[in-house]
Amino acid sequence: MIHDPTRHHQFVMLFEIKNASPASLSSLSNPLSLAQDVRYGLVMEEALRQALNLYLQQKLALPILKNRSPLVLDFSPESKNALCKQYYNLRMFGVTDSAGRTLIPGPVRLSLARSIDPIFPLSSGRNTAYGLYRMHGYYHPNAGKENGVNASDLESLWQGLSNLFTSGTTSWPVASAMRGLWIFTHETSPAEPIRSRELFNLVQTPALRGQAGKFEDYTIHYPPPGHLEAVPGVCLTYLA
């Protein structure tokens, strides 16, 4: 069911990063806090998409168009169809021009990923301790149909996300690991759209409100995979 491009899919992904550079963090604390300064880690959507495209190209040999801007092409329906048919990333993520205007709408949208808890710099000031990050994503079947997305494309998407943060993908001392992918699939087109927040909230990642040192410090709550009693018409798939 999660490979069906005619259905709506929404997903939550958790991954961890250890010893990342503080330069990649965004300070959300009071600027007067001085030594007590606390930061949250942020991984932007563009960085996640680029990493995913790299994995799909290197591991699954999927055609990825790297230099998408500018695309000096006549954007007729025929040329759009040809581009989507040829390149996986255009088919799934779409493309915008240099001004941010959408040239090809993409059915897959990713949010930025944010650490669940603050990340406290280590005493050396060079590395940070530990962060468990949460990202949300969507797949819209209407745009998927328009771009010619098929079941194999979705299978590659889930495989890529599941293996995006694995041992060896980053250089020591930075380490990363995948910690779960929850996919909510609508069995039919809902008469009234289910709010994404209602589904995302089913995967609960309570904050520690302190410094986490490892994934086992967290307790993740989510419904049993399968048909959801709380949300009729939606099936949950969990990929570790």
Which among 208, 182, 50 has a CA at the least distance from the CA of 116? 208
Let me know if residue 178 belongs to a domain: yes
Predicted confidence band of residue 190 (pLDDT cuts 50, 70, 90): low
| 70 preceded by a cis bond (ω within 30 of 0) | yes
Which of 195 and 70 is assigned the larger pLDDT?
195
Domain that holds residue 100: 9-225
End-to-end CA separation in angstroms for the chain:
17
Q: Residue 61 region, left (φ>0) first, then alpha (ψ -120 to 50), else beta?
A: left
User: Within a domain: residue 184?
Assistant: yes
Does residue 233 form part of some domain? no
- Least confident interval from 27-41, 47-61, 175-189: 27-41
* Residue 148 falls inside a structural domain: yes
Tell me if 179 is assigned to some domain. Answer: yes
**Could you tell me the pLDDT band of residue 99, with boundaries at 50, 70 and 90?**
confident
Position 231 in a domain: no
Q: How many domains does the chain have?
A: 1
- CA dist., res. 219 & res. 165, Å (int): 20
- Asked which of 104-113, 162-171, 222-231 is least confident by mean pLDDT, the reply is 162-171
Selected residue with higher pLDDT from 72 and 106: 106
- Is 4 a domain residue? no
Mean predicted confidence (pLDDT) in 141-163: 95
Say if 108 falls within a structural domain: yes
